[in-house]
């Protein structure tokens, strides 16, 4: 049999529980299918809970403490950067991307930057900016909007949202067929339908949603009743007996608005609608693969770059170490898998790159710190703990504990994961837990030392 094809599905800002295979508040039959026919990893975290550094680490296997890209900042991944997409192309694959990379700065016209994506190892590309960036960044998609006289309306809608209430819930100004997630899904679908090359294909489908704004179009905007959404985890008082960190800094302002009654459930219902919209697009792509007779020779992987608070702990967006921001979906389906496997060990989403390379018969010949979990698709343990970083802060998570250090190395977040899964009681600064905190801090130091570049 020829080398397997690879379908890499990625969303933006999808929290770990926004699937029906992990929760009961959003319907995702196609994501569930991938999990049911493969391996679902229930304890996957992002290496950094914000777009740019997360995607950079995912592409390169290098942590923010290696790249020095700590937050959502202007950065262009150099053309000669070692990455796993290029490694897959070098194994004889025709590679493609439809959607968002955010591996370079979202400015100007993305169509003029395609040579950069080719240099990274992506042959056929149709790149878009994220939902916000698409109001200013040009692409094949925005050119289509302009031709249909939709671009000005989209820009006006985005401007109005962020000039007034950024978390307002209302349908997009775009018709459903022109919405960015539909555009991405349909372009990938059309590409695979018409693929006639001899090489096996690698197709990266990178959706812009369910990243805010909460602008899911109809009919998806109305398919969930806000009253059925799970209640948000309550905001913890800002305790002064412990050190403070970035999660405390964002406890006021744009990250922590004063919600009116019903607003949190409204944004959750709209968010759920966007996830289901994306799931339907995934279903259409899977149908194409089946129609081509390739499902038995296709690897399918799914993950996201980080989560979304959606009102948990009084917050929206991401950029913190709470589970809603930190934990992300991850599942992989390989040909001839018995399926239905649930792996509960710790895993970092950047581990996906070397895993896919190994699954297609290759290996990475450059220094990187992600770890293939190809040997754990049977449910066996992968990592004993996971590491995440942002703005000079570090977080370590294992089956029992989560600890967060501020940029002075002091413990300001600590949660007992077994007895407090909703992270409602921050144990940082409490004397009874100091010895455990010390052990976890030492483990963070060990992880950092183990991932120093030569």
With respect to residue 401, please indicate whether it lies within any of the assigned structural domains: no
Residue 62 structural domain = 5-384
CB atoms within 10 A of CB 376: 21
Mean pLDDT for the stretch of residues 400-416: 97
User: 399 in a domain, yes or no?
Assistant: no
N-term to C-term CA, the chain: 39
Given a cut of 90, whether residue 392 has pLDDT beyond it is: yes
Domain harbouring 56, CATH code: 3.40.720.10
Task: Specify burial of residue 225 (Cβ count, 10 A radius: 0-12, 13-18, 19+).
Answer: exposed
pLDDT band for position 93 (cuts 50, 70, 90): very high
As a whole number, mean pLDDT of residues 259-287 equals 98
Contact 61, 370 (CB under 8 A): yes
Assign 253 a pLDDT band (cuts: 50, 70, 90): confident
Contact 354, 371 (CB under 8 A): yes
The whole-number pLDDT of residue 254 equals 87
Which residues make beta-bridge pairs with 124? 96
Q: What are phi and psi of 207, to 5 degrees?
A: -70, 150
Residue 53 lies in a domain: yes
* Cβ neighbours of 260 (radius 10 Å): 9
Task: Say what percent of the chain tops pLDDT 70.
Answer: 100
In a domain, 389, yes or no: no
* 359 found inside a domain: yes
pLDDT at residue 383 greater than cutoff 80: yes
At 162 the pLDDT is 93
As a whole number of angstroms, the distance between CA 16 and CA 303 comes to 9
Domain count, the chain: 1
The rounded mean pLDDT for the chain is 96
Question: Looking at the predicted structure, is the pLDDT value of residue 238 above 80?
Answer: no
Q: Tell me if 103 is assigned to some domain.
A: yes
* 35 in any annotated domain: yes
User: How far apart (Å, rounded) are the C-alpha atoms in residues 57 and 305?
Assistant: 10
> In this predicted model, what pLDDT tens digit does every residue of 114-137 receive, in sequence order?
999 999 999 999 999 999 999 999
Q: Is the pLDDT of residue 1 over 70?
A: no
Asked if residue 179 is part of any domain, the answer here is yes
């Amino acid at each position: 049999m020829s080398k397997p094809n690879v379908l890499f599905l990625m969303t933006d800002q999808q929290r770990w529980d926004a699937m029906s295979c992990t929760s009961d508040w959003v319907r995702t039959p196609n994501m569930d299918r991938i999990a049911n026919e493969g391996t679902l990893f229930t304890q996957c975290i992002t290496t950094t809970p914000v777009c740019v550094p997360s995607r950079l680490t995912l592409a390169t296997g290098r942590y923010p403490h290696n790249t020095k890209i700590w937050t959502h900042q202007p950065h262009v991944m150099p053309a000669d950067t070692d990455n796993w997409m290029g490694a897959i192309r070098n194994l004889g694959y025709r590679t493609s991307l439809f959607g968002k990379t955010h591996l370079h700065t979202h400015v100007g016209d993305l169509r003029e930057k395609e040579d950069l994506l080719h240099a990274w190892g992506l042959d056929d590309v149709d790149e878009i900016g994220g939902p916000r960036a698409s109001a200013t960044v040009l692409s094949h998609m925005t050119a289509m909007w302009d031709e249909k006289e939709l671009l000005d309306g989209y820009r006006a809608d985005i401007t109005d949202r962020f000039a007034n209430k950024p978390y307002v819930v209302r349908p997009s100004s775009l018709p459903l067929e022109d919405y960015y997630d539909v555009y991405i899904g349909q372009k990938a679908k059309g590409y695979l339908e018409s693929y006639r090359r001899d090489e096996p294909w690698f197709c990266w489908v990178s959706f812009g949603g369910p990243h805010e704004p909460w602008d899911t179009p109809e009919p998806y905007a109305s398919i969930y009743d806000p009253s059925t959404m799970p209640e948000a985890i309550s905001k913890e008082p800002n305790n002064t007996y412990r050190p403070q960190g970035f999660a405390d800094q964002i406890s006021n302002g744009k990250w922590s608005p004063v919600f009116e009654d019903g607003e949190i459930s409204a944004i959750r219902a709209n968010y759920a609608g966007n996830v289901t919209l994306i799931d339907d697009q995934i279903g259409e792509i899977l149908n194409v693969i089946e129609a081509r007779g390739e499902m038995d020779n296709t690897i399918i992987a799914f993950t996201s770059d980080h989560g979304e608070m959606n009102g948990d702990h009084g917050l929206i967006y991401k950029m913190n170490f709470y589970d809603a921001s930190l934990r992300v979906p991850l599942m992989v389906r390989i040909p001839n898998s018995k399926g239905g496997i649930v792996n509960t060990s710790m895993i970092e989403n950047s581990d996906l790159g070397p895993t896919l390379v190994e699954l297609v018969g290759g290996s990475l010949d450059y220094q990187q710190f992600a770890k293939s979990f190809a040997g754990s698709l049977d449910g066996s343990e992968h990592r004993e703990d996971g590491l995440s970083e942002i703005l000079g802060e570090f977080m370590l998570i294992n089956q029992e504990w989560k600890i967060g250090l501020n940029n002075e190395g002091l413990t300001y977040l600590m949660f007992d994961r077994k007895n407090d899964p909703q992270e409602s009681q921050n144990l940082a600064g409490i004397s009874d837990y100091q010895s455990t905190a010390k052990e976890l801090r030492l483990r963070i130091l060990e992880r950092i030392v183990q991932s120093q570049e030569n």
